[in-house]
Each structure stands twice: as C-alpha cells, then as structure tokens.
C-alpha cells in the first residue's frame, strides 16, 4: 500500500473524500487505525468516549508504549494538547505519541 501523493490512486481517493462530500470523523478514525496496522502491527484502537485521550495504543518492537491521537478538528494542536493532558491526568505515564489528522499541517 502506498500513500505517496499525486498519481497514487489510494491517495487520490482519500484526498477527494477529504476535500468534498460527506466526512464522518468516526469513520476517519477507523480508517486511520486500519491503514496504520501495516506500519504499527501492535496498534489497538480505542473507541468510545472513555479513551483517556487516546484513540489507540501501541508498543514498539523495543517495548516502548505509545498512543495514537486522531483528530479532524480545525485546531489540531489544541486537540492534541487536550488529549495528552487527559492521558496524563488519568494516571497514565508519558509515552510516544502518533498523531493523524485530516487537516493540513503547515506553519
């Protein structure tokens, strides 16, 4: 599977759906988790409102723990900060963080 950019049919289909039509944040989260399973086989999606700020958890091959934060909100940094605060406030240890967003990330 490739998400290489222009000319890549999967990339083009995803970009088309993000640019127009109906966008469902819950479906986006499920899609992200599915696509990331190839790269992060230990990814375990966390669904629902009681996720402590994480949309998924994973461990690296070296045993480091991590969380996935998925957002489609306009203020990505604010959403990420809130998710990480909830993660720590609920007693979890600091860990690696992977972020996926439907929003452009530029300066």
Name every residue whose Cβ is closer than 8 Å to that of residue 53 and which is 6 or more positions away in sequence. 67, 69, 82, 83, 84, 85, 86, 87, 90
Average pLDDT over every residue of 37-63 = 89
pLDDT at 78: 95
**How far is residue 53's CA from residue 87's CA, in Å, rounded to a whole number?**
5
Q: Tell me if 97 sits within 8 A of 66, measured CB to CB.
A: yes
Q: How confident is the model at residue 3 (pLDDT cuts 50, 70, 90)?
A: very low
Res 13: pLDDT:
72
Euclidean distance between CA atoms 51 and 9, whole angstroms:
33
Q: What is the mean pLDDT of residues 10-19?
A: 70
- Pairing of the two strands 96-101 and 65-71: parallel
At 1 the pLDDT is: 40
């Amino acid at each position: 599977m490739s998400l290489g950019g222009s000319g890549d049919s999967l990339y083009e289909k995803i970009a088309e759906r993000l640019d127009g039509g109906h966008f469902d944040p819950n479906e986006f989260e499920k899609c992200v988790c599915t696509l990331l399973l190839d790269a992060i086989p230990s990814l375990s999606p966390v669904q629902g409102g009681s996720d402590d700020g994480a949309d998924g958890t994973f461990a690296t091959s070296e045993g480091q723990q991590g969380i996935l934060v998925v957002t489609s909100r306009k203020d990505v940094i604010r959403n990420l900060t809130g998710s990480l605060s909830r993660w720590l406030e609920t007693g979890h240890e600091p860990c690696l963080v992977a972020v996926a967003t439907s929003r452009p990330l530029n300066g």
